[in-house]
Amino acid sequence: MIAARGWILSLFLLDATSIPSEGERVLKKPVSRLQPRQKPFTPFVKDNLANHGEWTTWFNVDHPGGDGDHERLDAIRLYFKDKVCERPIRIDARTTDWVPAQSTGQVVHASLQEGFWCLNKEQPAGKTCLNYAVRFLCPIGSLLHDSKRFWSPWSKWSACSAQCGKTGVQTRLRTCLAESHLDLHCNEATEEGRLCIGHSCSECNLTCSMGRVNAECDSCMCEDHVLHGMISLADGAPAAEATVYVQSETLKLLTESDSNGGFRIPGVCPDGKNILKIKKARYATATVPIPENTKKASIIHVRLKRADKPYIVKNPVDKVRRIGQSVILCCKAAGNPAPAQYLWYHNGTLLDSSVYKYNSKLVLRNLNIDHAGEYFCKASNDAGSVKSQAAKLSVIASDEASCNPRPESYFIRLPHDCFQNATNSFYYDVGKCPANPCTGKIDQGLQCKDRAIYCCGVSKMEIREILCSGYTLPTKVAAECGCSVCTEIKMTVRGRATAADNGEPIRFGHIYIGNNRISMTGYKGTFSVHIPADTERLVLTFVDRLQKFVNTTKVLPFNKKGGAVFHEIKLLRKKAPVTLESSETNTIPLGDMEGDDPIAELEIPPNTFYRQNGELYTGKVKASVTFLDPRNISIATAAQSDLNYINEEGDMLPLHTYGMFSVDFTDETATESLNAGKVRVHLDSAQVKIPEHLQQMKLWSLNPETGLWEEEGDFKPDQSTRRKREERIFLVGNMEIRERRLFNLDVPESRRCYVKVRAYRSERFLPSEQVEGAVISLINMEPASGYSSNPRAWGRFDSAVTGPNGACLPAFCDEQRPDAYSAYILASLGGEELEAVPSSPRLNPHAVGVPQPYLNKLNYRRTDHMDPRIKKTVFSITVARPSPSIAGESNGPIYASENLRECEQALYSAAHFRFYRVERDRYDYNTVPFNENDPMSWTEDYQAWWPNPMEYRACYIKVKINGPQEVNIRSRNMGGTHPYTVGKLYGIRDVRTIRDMEQPNLSTVCLEFKCSGMLYDQDRVDRTLVRIIPQGKCYRESVNSMLQEYLVNHLPLAVNNESGEYTMLAPLDPLGHNYGIYTVTDQNPSIAKEIALGRCFDGTSDGTSRVMKSNIGIALTFNCVEREVVQQSLFQSLQNSPRQRERTGIRRQQRDICIGQAKMRRVTPRRSSPRVQCTPTD
């Protein structure tokens, strides 16, 4: 056994000249098959010591981010302790895909004292280190070893793999009998091999139904038969230089197609059994059987399809199981050809397929703690590979609670007249239970996705009474958390599609996912798309039916916890077509920045255009080539897709663009779309300001189904004579314009970081006021020559959606020069731009969220830093990669690319950039707490404001105030007719009226109230009792006559004895603008409220407006008398203050208000309703 172990490391190859007898020289490999003629990775050991030791398991403690991959021995000992001996005698390394280190062609280092390492800077330009794993050879007896107890007997030897008379390999297998394959006892070889010789060449068992056997005894020959073939591309154009193979034991090359796509093969038999394989670069291999016939000639036609890299259509999902249970993880990929291989990884290390017997599904039985971790699959076809999203498998003990029963702190803001002396604040802790996955009832049989998904949630609530000024406020707090079925959610993206140049809406445009049309834009360019379940990457293509705009593919981030996210979609207007002569050489410039040369130009040789059926087109051509110039930052938001590609390892990586262009060729009448064969792109190297990018520049095309860019070709020095520009250096790339019409001049960029950003409801920047669903966008700016801090062009546009812990956005950064890359960052919520923290007149690190001196290094500047007339919604930074040696830079807001998880999980106290929403005076209070940005926070309760988590109904009433001042208006919503809720509070809404700009004595407000309807149990309805209460000295002037008539006809009727307010039992029907009531139902509460509020502002039942129309669609009118003492209300003061008032300040202000009220009472004898409780101590 020990001698056999030494063989794999000392030689790692088979000697074809020496054939050992059975029992001699046995080859062993722990997990995967041995590849003949591979040399061992032994650059640091000169003699053969493997016969005197035993191997550890494979270790992988680092990943190739940052400056490289470091598998350090001290780190391995830290994590795995006694699993490595004190003095290893040898080291072996391979990639996680089982490629020996010496076969990768990379520069690597190893030491028995330090371990193994690979540095990115030592690799060829554009390449980074692969992900390596290492193991160590230890002295005999220093590792656990008990083969007889923990291993099954060896299987029988397999058949010899060699052909007749040649040398091959036989293998046999065994399995580890330990409870877990991760057990130390399972580190020995699972497979061993030996050399063998194939069968005697004198034997040929092949028989032919037609013709005779050839000399190699692998196929039949028919000398009197000739096969003629024609190969074309997907658009009908001839496929030149395609290779034709016949399928036997191995593929045998027969011929190659000529310039017209034709080929001729004599001697092949038309017996119906011969199979041809036809290959061409960037096209999927075609498999064609030769049809059976008895004639002397046959003809076949083959049409090739473009080879598409695989892309994931089903990702494995997170699961929670208990020890001893089983689980299945599933992965599915599509592509052309369909993926033929699936590999599964656990915590970054490849799982042995011979042990786990997986394909696209991975089954794990008898789970234990070692099985916990992250799993992902890697799917491959002839065109490439792709990795799925990682799924987290949690394994807990059989008697362990899967949810922490103790709720976390969650603070809600109380009304303006409810200051809490005990906490010296307006906030109250109601607790929450994070909706983490937990174990519930497991399905019978293994399912890719559990039928019922379980989450932690509130299992017990308690009622608390909060003392306020003159009244008590009931609230329900989370008392205990437990595991239950997750709240069902729906995910939506909404937005507006407009022109990038002037904001013209894209009216009635089509929206596609892949080839399926799923929605349309409206008259104003608005759209709403429901996101299918399990979607990881949402790729939408917007198509203008009038063809005024370029077809635009966008990858839109969305909130996976449910709810809606609003996106502004910008489309480029198509360039006006120019007329070309198909028989001549034509050039089209790419880039038309005033005062600057084009970035590149297209050269179209003569006789290049083809019709859709493949015929050569002659005549005039209308050509429209629209170029997105990165030197123009105003159109950066119109960038297609998210500028990512899949590398050879299957990882998604970013691109740095130097411009993208859309191509549209038609015939002279513009009725038929044309394709183009060989087209050249001449790139002006003077426009590439980063020298190393010249060697990495490539041509890319966009796959509209995946939203990913795929390589079309390289650039090479242009050897031709350039007219009038002989002094300039050009690069030339070749491409074909066929089914894809969008192209890119891009460079893979490895210098990456992540920027942490959070959004808030106000400039108080409290953790409880963080906003989910805000879209944060980052525009990466390319440095000018010499890494100047004054950028010359943008290189990338990225967006992310804030979750409960903010968002992390990718950005280019440079380790050597902090000022090499800069970025502009902006945010929006529901189409409304959020405001950034100011940088002038004084930069406040506490407000920005980043401490000094790191903030100065990042050069934070809001766009109005020098000119206050500019909008305050964008800030710029220099993306300075954090230095590991500086303590103040290790805690955000910039994180190195390998620390993405650290960025995503950063505590609130860690440094981050901030945006906030500038809102008018508005306050929402729910007795049963609910975060509208997180539908999974919904709790089953009769007093829930939203009784149905799948259907949210928002109701607003429009109220007009006649009076010189804006006033606050409150709706107090209580149970009205349901026996379980009658007299109980649902919630409170406070909002301030909006002054009419043309009528100074008029202001209006749209006030939310709780809709009437079924409660959560869907058993019976409740007519909500709604009280509309204006602040101050107001009296009711009128009620909408149609609303009053409806309420009278739908009893019971609420009593209205108070002239200073209005009470009603809310209508069950969605009445509309004629009644002054606005009702909208949607699958997302924020959408429902936004649409209803827009209709209320507009005073219509189907329109929308952001400007209040004061005299249209009114339900109630109040007259409010002007106060003599001009004094801000406490509510106004707190809303307008960026910091919480000190308790002493509040008491002082209460005293001032009481004095003012006393004066008003002396002047006006009418009864008033003061909002501040005045006591003798005041």
Flag the least confident range among 157-161, 304-308, 713-717, 1158-1162.
1158-1162
826 token code pair: 């902006």
Q: How does residue 728 score in pLDDT terms, banded at 50, 70 and 90?
A: low
- Alpha helix (H) residue ranges in 944-1100: 1041-1049, 1085-1098
CA pair distance 1066, 128, nearest whole angstrom: 65
What pLDDT is attached to residue 829?
A: 84
User: What is the arithmetic mean of pLDDT over 946-963?
Assistant: 90
What is the tens place of the pLDDT at every residue in 122-151?
A: 988 878 899 999 999 988 777 755 455 567
User: What is the arithmetic mean of pLDDT over 14-33?
Assistant: 32
Name 465's bridge partners: 474
Flag the least confident range among 241-250, 251-260, 531-540, 1126-1135.
1126-1135
pLDDT over 90 at 164, yes or no: no
What pLDDT is attached to residue 251?
A: 82
What is the tens place of the pLDDT at every residue in 846-881?
A: 999 999 999 998 999 998 888 877 888 999 998 888
What pLDDT is attached to residue 806?
A: 93
454 token code pair: 């379980």
What is the tens place of the pLDDT at every residue in 1073-1096?
A: 999 999 998 877 877 888 898 899
Flag the least confident range among 594-598, 922-926, 1174-1178.
1174-1178
Mean pLDDT of the chain: 81
User: What single letter denotes the amino acid at residue 100?
Assistant: P
Polymer length in residues for the chain = 1178
- Which has the closest alpha carbon to 674: 614, 627, 626? 614
What pLDDT is attached to residue 783?
A: 64
Q: What is the DSSP string of 580-616?
A: EETTS-EEEEE---TTS--SEEEEE-SS-EE-TTSPB
User: What single letter denotes the amino acid at residue 422?
Assistant: A
pLDDT over 70 at 932, yes or no: yes
* Contact in structure between 1077 and 955 (CB atoms under 8 Å): yes
pLDDT over 90 at 686, yes or no: no
Percentage of residues of the chain with pLDDT beyond 90: 31
CA pair distance 557, 535, nearest whole angstrom: 11
The DSSP code for 784 is E
Neighbour count for residue 536 (Cβ, 10 Å): 11
* Strands 319-322, 327-330: pairing kind: unpaired
CA pair distance 358, 343, nearest whole angstrom: 8
Strands (E), 936-984: 952-962, 968-974
pLDDT over 60 at 402, yes or no: yes
pLDDT over 60 at 316, yes or no: yes
What pLDDT is attached to residue 1133?
A: 46
pLDDT over 80 at 178, yes or no: no
What pLDDT is attached to residue 717?
A: 80
What is the tens place of the pLDDT at every residue in 189-215?
A: 777 777 787 766 656 777 788 888 877
Name 237's bridge partners: none
User: What is the arithmetic mean of pLDDT over 53-60?
Assistant: 84
What pLDDT is attached to residue 542?
A: 95
CA pair distance 494, 830, nearest whole angstrom: 8
Residue recorded with tokens 């070692």: 370
What is the tens place of the pLDDT at every residue in 1127-1174?
A: 444 444 444 444 444 444 434 444 444 444 444 443 333 333 333 344
pLDDT over 80 at 4, yes or no: no
Flag the least confident range among 17-31, 55-69, 731-745, 941-955.
17-31
pLDDT over 60 at 182, yes or no: no
* CA 421 vs CA 346, 838, 1129: distances in Å: 53, 33, 19
* Contact in structure between 607 and 616 (CB atoms under 8 Å): yes
Flag the least confident range among 186-195, 577-586, 1012-1021.
186-195
In the three-class reduction of DSSP (H, G, I as helix; E, B as strand; rest coil), residue 9 is classed as helix
* Contact in structure between 744 and 590 (CB atoms under 8 Å): no
What is the tens place of the pLDDT at every residue in 749-805?
A: 777 899 999 999 888 888 878 888 889 999 988 765 444 434 467 888 889 999 889
CA pair distance 89, 108, nearest whole angstrom: 19
Q: What is the DSSP string of 1081-1109?
A: EESSHHHHHHHHHHHHHHTSSS---SS--
What is the tens place of the pLDDT at every residue in 463-518?
A: 999 998 888 899 999 999 999 888 877 888 888 999 998 899 999 999 999 888 99
Flag the least confident range among 366-380, 1048-1062, 1144-1158.
1144-1158
pLDDT over 90 at 1063, yes or no: yes
Name 809's bridge partners: 755
- Which has the closest alpha carbon to 679: 628, 620, 608, 615? 608
